[in-house]
Chain A
């Protein structure tokens, strides 16, 4: 299992100007396996944090290690990090450029210096993720629908076979159906390929339904780190830092005040409904 480790990471930008900002403060993290969600609102440092993972941003102090190797130790390590921690930025469809879908997906693998044969294999494998028919590979990416473009952009990063797939707001701007399909697709991909997935989002509902572990960021620090039930049971603290909890978590808390205690770790509707049904059945018996 690949492992990503940040120790004592600080990041200050615009140093020495009136706009000096301490974006990350003493971050210590170990991530590997499963789906990790990073939550926080705009300006909490979460977007800067994910750009640390693949070396797009160099920490002001502290180290970033991929599989035990400091990515800033040698010059070509950083480049390796780009391929090991594949980063999909927000609205990735705006970065498509090639004349065909195939060429666009092949951009990453070619930059890795792979043989044409290997590139072809990778592109075809990644294209499965985009759910496009094979004949669409020759089409211009600009002719696709919004949702399809996003999938192609994701496939472009998946084709690099990264050990970590890091996604910044992969579902931004999509409708509920589109959200379900892209997040579901990512989850399935992570499970089947053994890739560790890291998702940045501000949707609590999405995080609750797709993530195994949640890291909560506020003003440049990690303030919570745990599984969904651990994080969402700290309901009041989350609201305190301006974040929300899934509506169903609030309902569960309101139910417990009305004598129907289904626990404080409720974060999906299915789970809440199941618990309530158990109670119903218990009553019948």
Chain B
């Protein structure tokens, strides 16, 4: 499988001002992101996940280590401005604060902003903007002022701006953190659709566990390191480890975990409430059969 992003032994140090000590935000971080996959980077505030995001978007240069984007090395002295521009054309980013990433005073103008920067002909921009607004379900707000939209709608406009540039990989840097549950659902549905229907590679940085449960792969960050990495079932099967990293597991996992500790033989890799009930019911009736037989 082709990798959109490969990261090898990343290290990043924030230099302290004056007599403050340097802070090592990333220590020996390595992982791959497969083309078309849905990867979640999970970590508490200050775990290094945002530093990682800015490195992947070429906004910061790592102190040590390599970043490969679409098979091209993006770190070191040989990288030119054109390379960075090229990488930015394929990797887009949606930020946390919906208000601070919208440039224009009209929704469609904002969606067009990136395409205009790329120097795409007007007619083609119009086509892309209309189709991007359709994809995120914001076409009927095309001529609105972004200021009056809800947080979820603003984020969808920001997403439209990224997909209009035809990027094959989008990084969401805590894009749902400032939204209410409804806005979060809107944005998550849009993200999932982009991934499953349009084949966009998605990297979602978050601390919401429910969002992580939908991923192909979860990378858990703690104290600047990759604490653990795997499918949601693999990662959530060790809740203690996540609790230690100031994270949470879905309530279904927590309940199953507690039941297992009480001696019930249940699986832990279940995130759906119905399946969770099924599993508990199955194990309980099995236990009853054992006791009776």
Q: Are A and B in contact, CB atoms below 8 Å, in the complex?
A: yes
Number of A-B pairs whose CB atoms are under 8 Å?
103
Q: How far is the CA of A269 from the CA of B29 in the complex (A)?
A: 34
Interface 1/0 per residue, B250-293 and A, CB below 8 Å: 11101100110011100000000110111011001001100100
**Interface majority SS on A: helix, strand, loop or mixed?**
helix
Contacting A178 at CB < 8 Å: which of B151, B246, B252? Answer: B246
Q: Give the size category of B's interface with A.
A: 35 or more
Contacting A255 at CB < 8 Å: which of B262, B281, B288? Answer: B281
A177 vs chain B, min Cβ distance (A): 3
Known A42-B180, A177-B44, A242-B182: A251·B246 in contact at CB below 8 Å = no
Report the stretch among A22-30, A80-88, A168-176 that lies at the interface. Answer: A168-176
A259 at interface, CB cutoff 8 A: yes
**Interface majority SS on B: helix, strand, loop or mixed?**
helix
Q: Is the CB of B45 within 8 A of A174?
A: yes
Q: Is the CB of A280 within 8 A of B273?
A: no
A171 vs chain B, min Cβ distance (A): 11
Residue of A with least CB distance to B97: A173
Q: How far is the CA of A255 from the CA of B252 in the complex (A)?
A: 12
Q: Is the CB of B262 within 8 A of A273?
A: yes
Interface 1/0 per residue, A237-267 and B, CB below 8 Å: 0000011101110110011011110000000
Q: Is the CB of B180 within 8 A of A251?
A: no
Q: Give the size category of A's interface with B.
A: 35 or more
Q: Is the CB of B277 within 8 A of A255?
A: yes
A-side residues, CB < 8 A to B, are 41-42, 145-147, 172-178, 202-203, 205, 242-244, 246-248, 250-251, 254-255, 257-260, 269-270, 272-273, 276-277, 279-280, 283-284
What would be 30 A-B contacts, judged by CB atoms less than 8 Å apart?
Answer: A41-B180, A41-B181, A42-B150, A42-B151, A173-B177, A174-B45, A175-B43, A176-B209, A176-B246, A177-B44, A177-B246, A177-B247, A202-B181, A242-B182, A244-B181, A247-B251, A250-B273, A251-B251, A251-B280, A254-B274, A258-B281, A259-B281, A269-B254, A273-B258, A276-B255, A276-B262, A276-B284, A277-B259, A277-B262, A283-B291
- New A-B pairs, 17, CB < 8 Å, besides A41-B180, A146-B45, A273-B255: A145-B45, A147-B45, A173-B178, A174-B45, A175-B246, A177-B247, A178-B246, A246-B251, A247-B273, A251-B255, A251-B273, A255-B280, A258-B277, A276-B259, A276-B280, A283-B284, A283-B291
